A and B are shown apart, each in its own frame.
Chain A
């Protein structure tokens, strides 16, 4: 092996080390965020770090270490699968957290779901009133 190629190998190995340690640090950041943030919404913000960026970094490290081209599409599929599933579960957890009031309202900078909930509540109340009126008229 020429000196040039081994230098390139050393560079790839160093890049792999950086990616792996950074990916592991994402997990640590998520754990610290889980422990220190005050409510469910801010904890969800911390929890997405290892799921998206951390996974991307370690998968890129795998691709660098294997040194073949055909692994990159496979790793990309694994990452895109994670990208498709994580927002859906995060949306459902966040919505369930909103509906069960596991949040501190004063920490929110904007609350776009409040209008929708208020309108739905008003509609339900109107239906209830109509039903009550019909019920009281009948006997």
Chain B
């Protein structure tokens, strides 16, 4: 039972991480890459939480919260400094 759950979730999370990495690689804009990196971070957090649930410990919980904080700071910083490079920004 335990091994089955671990294998199933590992396969699912590996596929999800592969998809997010593909989007980081091809993503047409910087913001797409930031978004995909956020999803990759959420997938890592899910992996940490699944490890905690199956092995019944709480060692990674602070790491999970720190991961949330890092993702927040990263995406806010990048979004803040994405520059509008067109000559007249109000044309549409």
Contacts and interface: CB of A to CB of B under 8 A. Distances in A.
Interface residues of B, number: 50
> Helix, strand, loop or mixed for chain B's interface?
helix
Interface in A26-52: 26-28, 30-32, 34-35, 40, 43-44, 47, 50-51
A130 interface: no
A102 to B, nearest CB: 5
A104 to B, nearest CB: 12
> Helix, strand, loop or mixed for chain A's interface?
helix
Given A95-B79, A100-B82, A43 B54 contact: no
A101 B4 CA distance: 45
A126 interface: no
Interface string B55-88: 0101001001100110110011001101010100
Contact size class for A?
A: 35 or more
10 contacts: A20-B5, A30-B43, A35-B23, A50-B46, A51-B38, A58-B53, A59-B49, A86-B72, A92-B80, A99-B82
Interface of B: 1, 5, 8-9, 12-13, 15-20, 22-23, 29, 31-32, 34-36, 38-39, 42-43, 45-46, 49-50, 52-54, 56, 58, 61, 64-65, 68-69, 71-72, 75-76, 79-80, 82, 84, 86, 89-90, 92
